[in-house]
Homo-oligomer: A and B are copies of this chain.
Amino acid sequence: MTKTNSGNFFEDFRIGQEIRHATPRTVTEGDMALYTALYGSRFAFNSSAEFARDCGMPGQPLDDLAAFHVVFGKTVPDVSLNAVANLGYAGGSFGAPVYAGDTITTTSQVIGLKENSNKQTGVVYVRSTGVNQKGEMVVDYIRWVMVKKRDVNAAAPAELVPDLPDAVAASDLIIPPGLNTGKYDDVLAGSPHRWDDYAVGEKIDHVDGMTIEEAEHMMATRLWQNTAKVHFNQHTEGQGRFGRRLIYGGHIISLARALSFNGLGNAFKIAAINGGRHVNPTFAGDTIYAWSEVLEKFEIPGRSTLGALRLRLVALKNRSGADFTLKLEDGKSFDPAVVLDFDYTVLMPRR
């Protein structure tokens, strides 16, 4: 009997199946430093313990997306080792902020399954949840992924396509206990623009571009203990579909979020991931740009000093965001320069 993990194939999943993922992870200040080195993030809330304490937190929390990546990475060996494509995200919530010393443990529940008509693959929907050592949810999201069948003749598991939320409702956003932006300092935060200053439909070109190196995306992806082979092995990928190592989609989300500081500097915390698609692959040598669109503005129930913005964050490769490039003229297909179409909700201080 082989002792190596061959991962799950489509026919191995069952609706309602609970998966406890391996390798719990204690997050440290080392992870925070690497996150800064890899993405150049400048949100004061994550950069400065003093700034975070002035916002009512016990210290600087780990970047929300780093928590997401830790949880995502743990699901790979069980959920997507035999994936053909990572299709989307929905219904993602951030709960308890993560501090250095916290240990994140991850589980997933299979919430949907649908075989594809070619019988060679199927779509697996999972809700993945990371909890800290106190059992508090830190991040919780749905993703769906196209997974190969081991045996095309195998019977498909019972089918269920879940209803996916279009977006996380304002009333469902989790505000960390103690969070208070009463002493929030716009100058230290790096932006004079507060929630009140953004309008639905407003688009922001984040101006700057960042070129990705192989060493960077591989270090990031290993840091999250994500084992997807396509990111690491040039010997096989050189013979594969692209002839290149493929960059982990989450790396692009983090780069685009860091670039978005320039224009959204007060979007200090991510509260929800409403949706997201990696619409084209990215490779080392590509330069990532980003632009955002304000999709909705939410008041936060019971909070007069804090608001939420639902944002579209679009990442482009080798093309400036100045034109707000998204779809081709047909209005359906994505422009080949677009690599990420991400829909998320941020918290921002109000005046």
Q: Does A295 contact B (CB under 8 A)?
A: no
What residue of chain B has the Cβ atom nearest to residue A317's Cβ?
Answer: B235
Q: Which residues of B contact A227 (CB under 8 A)?
A: 40, 42, 208, 262
Residue pair A208, B233 in contact (C-beta under 8 Å):
yes
Q: Which residues of B contact A208 (CB under 8 A)?
A: 227, 229, 232-233
Q: Which residues of B contact A327 (CB under 8 A)?
A: none
Q: Which residues of B contact A120 (CB under 8 A)?
A: none
Q: Which residues of B contact A100 (CB under 8 A)?
A: 28-29
Which of A111-119, A154-162, A171-179, A190-198 interfaces with chain B? A190-198
Q: Which of B28, B32, B216, B264 contacts A3 (CB 8 A)?
A: B264
Q: Which residues of B contact A233 (CB under 8 A)?
A: 208-211, 287
Q: Does A108 contact B (CB under 8 A)?
A: no
Q: Which residues of B contact A49 (CB under 8 A)?
A: 26, 101, 103
Q: Does A86 contact B (CB under 8 A)?
A: no
Which of A87-95, A121-129, A217-225, A299-307 interfaces with chain B? A217-225
What residue of chain B has the Cβ atom nearest to residue A287's Cβ?
Answer: B235
Q: Does A75 contact B (CB under 8 A)?
A: no
Q: Does A164 contact B (CB under 8 A)?
A: no
What residue of chain B has the Cβ atom nearest to residue A102's Cβ?
Answer: B49
Which of A29, A47, A207 has its CB near the most chain B CB atoms (within 10 A)?
A29
Q: Does A44 contact B (CB under 8 A)?
A: yes
Residues in A lying within 8 Å of B, measured CB to CB: 2-5, 20, 22-26, 28-34, 36-40, 42-44, 47-51, 60, 77, 100-101, 103, 105, 133, 187-191, 193, 197-198, 204-211, 213-216, 218-223, 225, 227, 229, 232-236, 245, 262-265, 285, 287, 318
Question: Closest 8 A-B residue pairs measured CB to CB?
Answer: A30-B33, A22-B190, A40-B222, A235-B287, A28-B29, A215-B215, A24-B48, A30-B30
